[in-house]
C-alpha cells in the first residue's frame, strides 16, 4: 500500500511539474524560455494555473463565474476518489481536484457533477429561491425550501443534493440549460452531450483572452462512477495544458469528445 501511494505521488508530482510552455514551431504559444504554467502549491484556480504570455483573465465576471473561479483546490498530491473511496485510475488526465465534499452515494457522476456545482453555488450564496426554480423539471423533485422545512443546515443541503441528483436525467439537465453561440462562451458555460449509454458534461471554470479577443479556457468534470470534480489536462496541446484554445470544431477532452456546438448556459 505504501509503495502504491509513493508511486501515485510521483505521478502527480511529475504531471504537476511537466506542464510548461514548450518551444514548438506549430504553436502560437511557443516560447524559447520555458515558463511554468502550474504552481502546484497554490490552492486557488486563478493562482495555481498561470495564463500564457499575452493572455489575461477578465475581472468583470458574473456571480456564478466568480464563485467557480474561487473554489479552493485540494493539495496537488491528493488524487481523485470515487464516492466509495476508490482512487481513480489514470491520474495523468487531471491536474487538480476541487475541494468539495462529494455525496456518499453514486450520484455525482458525469453531467450530474455540473448540476451539483450549480446547486452548491445557490446554496452557498443563500439563493434558495433559485434552487427552488431548479425543481421545475419533468421529474418534479420537491423544491429545496419545501424539502428543508426551515432547516438550512449543510447536512440538510447534502441530503437534498443526493435527492435532487437521484431525480436528474438527460432531459432534466437540458431543461436547465439553453444553447448559446460558441464565440460568446464565458466561465460557467457547459459542454453537454448525451451518449448512447450516459450523458456527459464539462464546465468552463476559468478563462482568459488576448488583445485580439482570442479566448482560452480551463475545464472541470466529474465522471463515472460518482467522483471528485477534477481539473482536466488538455490532451491535444501540452504546451498550454490545462488551458484549451477556443477554436470551433471538435473539443477533445481526456475522457469525452465534444463539439463546440454542444456549448450551453444555465438559464
12, 35 in Cβ contact below 8 A? no
Average the pLDDT over 235-255 and give the result. 97
Average the pLDDT over 82-92 and give the result. 96
The helix/strand/coil state of 234 is coil
Q: Is the pLDDT of residue 65 over 50?
A: yes
pLDDT grade for 253, boundaries at 50, 70 and 90: very high
pTM confidence score? 0.89
Question: Which has the closest alpha carbon to 44: 236, 210, 218?
Answer: 218
Check residue 14 and give its pLDDT. 45
Check residue 198 and give its pLDDT. 80
Average the pLDDT over 30-37 and give the result. 50
- pLDDT, tens only, 165-201: 999 999 999 999 999 999 999 999 999 998 767 899 9
pLDDT grade for 15, boundaries at 50, 70 and 90: low
**More confident: 135 or 32:** 135
pLDDT, averaged across the chain: 90
Distances (CA, A) of 165 to 64, 178, 225: 20, 19, 13
pLDDT grade for 135, boundaries at 50, 70 and 90: very high
Instruction: Kindly give the residue spans of alpha helices, DSSP state H, lying in 90-213.
Output: 112-124, 128-133, 144-148, 154-166, 170-176
Check residue 5 and give its pLDDT. 44
Check residue 123 and give its pLDDT. 99
Element (H, E) at 233: none
Q: Is the pLDDT of residue 109 over 60?
A: yes
Question: Which has the closest alpha carbon to 57: 228, 186, 222?
Answer: 186
pLDDT grade for 235, boundaries at 50, 70 and 90: very high
Sorted by where each begins, the domain ranges of the chain are: 2-266
Check residue 3 and give its pLDDT. 43
C-alpha cell at 38: 502550474
- Which string of DSSP letters, residue by residue, matches 144-165? HHHHHTT---HHHHHHHHHHHH
Amino acid at each position: 500500500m505504501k509503495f502504491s501511494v509513493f508511486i501515485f505521488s510521483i505521478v502527480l508530482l511529475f504531471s504537476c511539474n511537466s506542464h510548461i510552455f514548450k518551444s514548438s514551431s506549430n504553436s502560437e504559444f511557443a516560447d524559447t524560455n520555458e515558463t511554468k504554467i502550474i504552481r502546484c502549491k497554490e490552492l486557488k484556480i486563478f493562482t495555481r494555473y498561470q495564463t500564457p504570455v499575452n493572455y489575461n483573465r477578465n475581472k468583470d465576471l458574473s456571480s456564478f463565474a466568480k464563485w467557480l473561479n474561487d473554489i479552493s483546490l485540494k493539495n496537488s498530491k491528493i488524487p481523485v476518489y470515487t464516492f466509495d473511496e476508490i482512487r481513480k485510475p489514470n491520474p495523468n488526465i487531471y491536474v487538480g481536484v476541487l475541494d468539495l465534499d462529494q455525496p456518499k452515494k453514486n450520484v455525482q457522476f458525469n453531467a450530474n457533477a455540473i448540476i451539483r456545482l450549480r446547486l452548491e453555488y445557490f446554496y452557498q450564496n443563500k439563493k434558495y429561491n433559485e434552487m427552488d426554480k431548479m425543481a421545475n423539471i419533468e421529474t418534479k423533485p420537491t423544491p429545496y425550501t419545501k424539502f428543508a422545512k426551515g432547516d438550512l443546515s449543510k447536512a440538510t443541503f447534502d441530503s437534498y443534493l443526493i435527492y435532487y441528483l437521484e431525480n436528474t436525467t438527460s432531459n432534466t439537465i437540458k431543461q436547465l440549460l439553453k444553447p448559446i453561440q460558441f464565440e460568446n462562451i464565458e466561465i460557467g458555460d457547459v459542454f453537454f452531450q448525451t451518449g448512447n449509454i450516459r450523458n456527459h458534461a464539462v464546465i468552463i471554470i476559468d478563462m482568459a483572452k488576448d488583445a485580439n479577443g482570442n479566448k482560452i479556457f480551463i475545464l472541470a468534470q466529474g465522471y463515472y462512477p460518482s467522483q471528485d470534480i477534477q481539473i482536466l489536462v488538455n490532451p491535444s496541446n501540452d504546451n498550454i495544458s490545462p488551458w484549451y484554445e477556443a477554436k470551433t470544431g471538435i473539443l477533445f477532452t481526456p475522457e469525452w469528445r465534444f463539439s463546440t456546438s454542444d456549448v450551453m448556459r444555465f438559464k
